[in-house]
Structure 1
Amino acid sequence: MSVETLPSTADGRPQALPNPMYDPAPGIVRPDRPGPVPDPEVFCGWAGETVAALDPTTEADPVGVLANLLSASSTIIGSGPFLWIGNDRHPALIWALTIGGTSVGRKGAATNTARRLLKAAVPDFIASNTRSGLSSGEGLIDMVRDGNGDKDPGVTDKRLWVIESEYGITMARGRREGSSLSGILRQAWNGEDLGVMNRDALHATAPHIAVIGHISPRELRAKMQDAEMAGGTYNRFLPVFVHRTLLDPGGRGAPDELIDNLASAWKTVLTDARRVGEVQLTPEAAQFWDDEVYFALCGNESDDGPLAEFTARAAPYAKRAAMVYALLDHTDRIGEDHLRAAWALVRYARASAAHVLGAMANGTGDPDLDKLAAAVKAAGDGGLTGDEVYRLFKRRNAAYRSDLTARLCELPGFAAVQVPGDGRHKTVYLFAPPG
C-alpha cells in the first residue's frame, strides 16, 4: 500500500495539510476532566492526528470523536481485512457505547464531528450505509438482506454503520419477550451470516455491521440487568465515558478547508484499506502482546460481576482496535505503536465501565493497578517495598512500574514513604483507609 498524492510523515502515513486556524494540538488529553482519563497513547497515528486537528473545533470529548472514527472507519473498510485470534477469524469491526451526561456528554457532537468528516470523504457510504432505529433482529437483517430472485434483489453492499442516539430504547427493545435483537447483534459482531427461522426466512450473507450507541450513565445503570450481560450482548461494545472538554459559545465548527484537507487523506486511506486481506502483528508487536498485554488481560480471569461481564472481550478488542489503527496508518502490519494504542483504549474502556457502573470500590478499571493496590493492602502496616513491587511486575519495565506506583499514590489512602534501610533509605508503599 502506498500514498502518492498526499503529503506524508517520515513513516509513510498520510498527513493533513496545514491549516492556519487550527493546528493539531500537541496534547489533547485534559487531566482535569471528570471520571477516567485516557492515556495519550490512544491518539495514535493518523486517527490521533485527525482527532487533534478537529479538537479545537468541537465541544465533543476527543476520545468520543476517536471512538466514532474508529467505529465508522471499521465499517467503511469492509470485510476484506481480518486477523486470526486462535482459530477465530475477526473482522475489522469496532462497536462503541459512548456514555455521558445528557447536557455535558456531547455524545451527539462526537458522532456528528466524525460523520461530517466522513461525509466529505465517502459521501455515498454515509448517505446509503448509515442507519438508526434498531428495533428487532429481523429489521437489522433486512437492512443487509440477501436477494430472493426477481422478487427482491436484496442488498449488494453489506456494510452498515448503525448510530443509536438513544441506546436505552434499544436495550429495552432487546429485553422484550421473543425478541431476536440481542442474538442477532451478537452474530453481527462476530461477522457471521445472519438469519432467523421464520416463515419469511430472512438471511444476510457476509454482513459487515458496526454499532455506535449513546447513553447516559444513569440510564445505563437503570436498564442493565445481569441476565442481559451474561448473554454477552453488551460486552460486544467498548464502553467509552465522554464529557464536554471545551466551551465554545460561538460554535463555529471546523472550517471547510480543514474538513476538505482531512477528507482527501481519509478517502485515500479508506479506499486502500479495503484492498487488504489478512492483517498480522510485527515481531515487535507480537513480543509486546506476549510480555505486556496478554498476561494483564488474563490477570482478572477469576473476577465476576457486572464489570467483568461488561469487559469480557477485552482481549479480542485489543487486537481488533490495533488492526483498525494499522489500516488507518496505511499498513497491513500491526506495529507496536498500534497495539499500545489499542491496549490503552481497552484500559480506558474498562475504567469507563468501572466509573459508570459504580464499581470503583472493587476496582480501578486497570488490572495491574488493582493488583498492586490489593498487594499493598495485604502487606498491612509494614507496607510493600519497592523490591516486592518489582517481583510482582518483573515482566514490566522500570518506566511502567514507576508510572504504576505513581498512579497508586493518587488513589485515596495510598502513599509512598521513605524509611531507613541498609545504608540508604528505601521506598515503602502504605495504605490507610481514608477517614
Structure 2
Amino acid sequence: MSEHPVEGMTVGKVREILDLVMPETEADPAGVLAALLSQVSCMVGDKVMLNIGGREMPVSVWTLLIGATGKGRKGTAYAMAARVCNVACPDFLTDHESSGASSGSGIIRAFVKRRESALAAMRDAEENGREYAGLSVTDTRMLLVEAEYETVIKRGKRDATLQGVMRKAWDGADLQNMVADGGVLRSPRFVVHGHSTPRGFRDNISATDVAGGTYNRMVIQHVTRSKRLSMRHVINEDSIKEAGAILARAVAFAGGIDEITLSEEAIDLFDEGLRDEIDEYRCEDEYIEDFLPRAVENVWRVGAIYALINLRDEISVADIEAAWSFVRHGLDSVAHIMGESADMVSGETEEDKILKVLRRNPGGISGTDIFKLTGVPARYTKSWAEKREDIDMWRGLGSLNGGRKPTMFRLMTAEEMGEAGEEPTTSVPEQASGPRLKAIGCETPVASVTMSVEDDNEFADLLN
C-alpha cells in the first residue's frame, strides 16, 4: 500500500489544519488525522448528534494506529493532534482523557466516579460561596487512550463485559453496571484511540474477536514516519496556534447545533451506488470482510466531523468522499497488516489493475465486478474509461427485481480500433486464464470473472 496517501482524505479546513502542522512533525499525516478525529469527536460529542434517516447516533470516531515501534511515530501523531486541541480547548484533554480499561464495569465506574467528584466539587463551591468552574455533572465525554492496545484485546478475552460495554458505548446506548458500586450511565460519549504494533495486533486478535463487532467499530490506520526532521528543528508555535484557532471556531459552532444530517446531494451519492461500493469493498478479502459492516457508519461519522470543522450542519459530497477515502485506507491497512494476496501488494497502478481484469474478460465486465476484484471504485473506472478510445462502455441488463443497470466495460481489439489502433500496454504480464474468484461475503458471487489469486498466505492461520 502507498505511504502517506492523505490528500484525498481531507477537505477544506481539515486540510488547512494538516497543512499547518505536518511540517512540524515526523508523524504520518494519516496518524495525525486519525488522532485529531478521535479527539474532536469527543469534544463535540455532547453537543451534536448525527441524524441519518431519522436514526440518531453519536459522532464518535474510534481510531487505532498500527505501526512499528520507533518508526510508526504513533505517539508523535497523537501528541501533535493534542497540541492543536489544547489550543482550541485548553483543559479538555486534561479533564477527559483516561486509560487502563480493564473491564466493562471498570469503564462504567470511571464515568460514575468522575461524575461524583464533579458533584462533590460543585456542592463544596456552593457551600463556600464560590463560583463552580469545573466539569458539568452531566458531562459523559471520555477519551480512552491506550498506548498498547493489544493489552485491551487481551483483557477483552478474559473479561466478557469489556467488549460488550465498549460496543454499547460506541452505539451511544445507556450503560448499566450490575455491581454494587456501579450505576447507570445515560448515553455516554465514549471515544477510543489506541496504538499497537503490527505483530502485537496480529498475534492477539482472532476472527472471533473481529466478528464480535468491537474492533470493526475502529478505523485502523497503518502508519510510518513521514520524514526525518533535523535535531535543530524547532516547532513553529504560530502554525499550531493557527490550526488551533480553526478548530476552536469549529468547536464553538458545534456547540450551537443539535444535529447534523446528510445533504440531499450526499444522499443521492449513496443512493446512486456509493453505499454498495462501501459494503462490497474488497469483500472477497477474508481480512476485510468482517470490518465492512461498520464501514458505512464510520464514513458518516467521519464526514460529520469534517462538516463541523468546516462550519456546516450538513454533510456534503466532498465530506463523504474524503471520509470514504480515510475509511477505505483503514480497510486497506487491515489487509496490509494481516497479510494480503500478491496481486494487491505488487505495486500495480489502478490502471494496471483495471486493464488486467479487462484482458481476462474480453466479453466485458461491469464496473461493480471490477471494483470487487481490484478495489478500484466504479466511479474511477468510468472516469478513466471515458478518457480512452480503446474502451467500449454500455449499459448492461438490470436485475430481475428491477435494480440499476450496470455500466459494462470492454477492451477493444486492435482490429476494432482500425489498422492504426493499438492495444494499450501494461506493466502486468497478460495471463490467459486463472481460477474463478468467488466474492466471499458479497450478495452476488462473481461467477463470470476470472482472476489469479495467491492461495498461500503466511498470516492466514492467525485468524483461525
TM-score, structure 1 normalization: 0.78
1:425 corresponds in structure 2 to 421
- Show CA shifts across 1:149-196 (max 9, x none): 9899894321111111110111111111x4411111101111111112
Structure 1 residue 403, shift from structure 2 partner = 11
Asked if 2 retains the 8 angstrom alpha-carbon contact of 1:390 and 1:401, the reply is no
CA distance in 1, matches of 2:329, 2:387: 15
Give the 5 Å matches for 1:106-255: 106-145=73-112, 155-176=137-158, 178-250=159-231, 252-255=233-236
Equivalent position of 1:93 in the other structure: 60
Alignment partners' CA distance in 2, 1:110 and 1:84: 30
Residue 82 of structure 1 deviates from its aligned partner by 2.1
Instruction: Give SS of 1:212's match.
Output: strand
In the aligned structure 2, how far is the partner of 1:391 from the partner of 1:359?
21
Are 1:58 and 1:253, in contact at CA under 8 Å, matched by a contact in 2? Answer: no
- Tell me, yes or no, if the aligned pair for 2:210 and 2:290 is still in contact at 8 Å: yes
Equivalent of 1:269, from 247, 250, 263? 250
Letter of the structure 2 residue corresponding to residue 105 of structure 1: G
Code of the residue aligned with 2:171 in structure 1: it is: N
Structure 2: how far apart are the matches of 1:231 and 1:55? 36
Residue 396 of structure 1, aligned match among 375, 379, 382 = 379
Of 17, 21, 25, the match for 1:58:
25
Structure 2 unaligned residues grouped into runs of 5+: 123-135, 371-376, 389-410, 432-451, 455-464
Q: 1:403 to 1:175 in 2, by over 3 A?
A: farther
Residue 30 of structure 1 corresponds to none
Note closer, same or farther for the CA distance 1:36–1:355 as it changes in structure 2 (3 Å cut): farther
3-state secondary structure, aligned to 1:280 = strand
Deviation, 1:117, is 1.5
Indicate yes or no: 2:305 matched with 1:324.
yes
Q: 1:344 aligns with which of 325, 335, 357?
A: 325
Task: Give 1:402 shift.
Answer: 4.8
Q: Give the C-alpha shift of residue 323 in structure 1.
A: 0.7
Cα distance between partner residues in 1 of 2:212 and 2:149: 17
The 1:288–1:260 alpha-carbon spacing in structure 2 relative to 1, beyond 3 Å, is: same
**What SS does the corresponding residue of 1:144 show, helix, strand or coil?**
helix
> Does the aligned pair in 2 maintain the 1:240–1:349 contact within 8 Å?
yes
Whole-Å separation in 2 of the counterparts to 1:306 and 1:390: 23
8 A Cα contact 1:194 1:204, kept in partner = yes
**Shift in CA distance, 37/264, structure 1 to aligned 2, threshold 3 Å:** closer
TM-superposed CA distance for 1:221, in Å, is 0.5
Structure-2 separation of matches of 1:363 and 1:314: 20
- Alpha-carbon distance change, 404 to 58 in structure 1, aligned in 2, over 3 angstroms: farther
> Which whole-Å CA distance do the structure 2 matches of 1:253 and 1:139 have between them?
41
Q: Which has the larger radius of gyration?
A: 2
Q: What letter is aligned with 1:115?
A: A
The sequence identity of aligned pairs, in percent, is 29
Q: Which amino acid aligns with 1:99?
A: I
Partner AA of 1:347 in structure 2? R
Q: For 1:401 and 1:292, how far apart are their aligned partners in 2?
A: 18
Return the alpha-carbon distance in structure 1 between the equivalents of residues 380 and 363 of structure 2.
Answer: 14
Decide whether aligned partners of structure 1 residues 301 and 395 sit closer, same or farther in structure 2, where only a CA change above 3 A counts: closer
Listed one character per residue, the Cα deviations across residues 182-217 of structure 1 (whole Å, up to 9, x for unaligned) are 111101111111112223343211210111100011
Q: Matched residue of 2:50: which SS?
A: strand
- Flag the 1:252–1:156 CA change in 2: closer, same or farther, 3 A: farther
How far has the Cα of 1:303 moved from its partner? 4.8
Write the letter of the residue equivalent to 2:19. Answer: A
- Opposite residue 171 of structure 1, the aligned amino acid is I
- Say whether the 8 Å CA contact 1:145–1:155 is kept in structure 2: no
Change in 2 beyond 3 A, CA 1:427/1:317: farther
Q: CA deviation at 1:395?
A: 6.5
- Cα shift at 1:39: 5.5
Q: Return the alpha-carbon distance in structure 2 between the equivalents of residues 397 and 434 of structure 1.
A: 23
Shift of 1:267: 1.5
How far apart, in 1, do the equivalents of 2:232 and 2:42 lie? 29
Q: Partners of 1:386 and 1:119 in 2: how far apart?
A: 58
Contact kept in structure 2, 1:102 and 1:216, CA below 8 Å: yes
CA deviation string 1:213-269 (max 9, x = no partner): 000111110001122112111001001111001101326353222222222232121
Aligned CA distance change for structure 1 residues 388 and 156 (closer, same or farther; 3 Å) = closer
Structure 1 residue 106, shift from structure 2 partner: 0.2
Q: Given residue 100 of structure 1, which amino acid in structure 2 is its aligned partner?
A: G
C-alpha spacing 1:325/1:346, structure 2 compared with 1 (3 Å): same
Letter in 2 for 1:420: E
Q: What displacement does 1:396 show?
A: 2.9
Question: Measured at CA, do residues 391 and 183 of structure 1 come closer, stay the same or move farther in structure 2, by a change above 3 Å?
Answer: closer
Residues 6 and 29 of structure 2 are in contact (CA less than 8 Å); yes or no, is this contact kept in structure 1?
no
1:248 partner amino acid: L
For structure 1, list consecutive stretches of 5 or more residues without a partner in the other structure. Answer: 1-33, 406-415
CA distance in 1: counterparts of 2:334 and 2:110, whole angstroms: 30
Deviations 1:358-381 (A, max 9, x none): 0345867xxxx79x969956x7xx
Report how far residue 418 of structure 1 moved. 7.0
Q: Distance in 2 between matches of 1:275 and 1:231?
A: 37
Q: Which amino acid aligns with 1:168?
A: E
Tell me the CA shift for residue 319 of structure 1: 0.9
- Partner residue of 2:240 out of 259, 266, 270: 259
SS, match of residue 192 in structure 2: strand
- Please report how far the alpha carbon of residue 315 of structure 1 lies from its aligned counterpart in structure 2 after TM superposition: 0.8
Q: Structure 1: which amino acid aligns with 2:317?
A: E
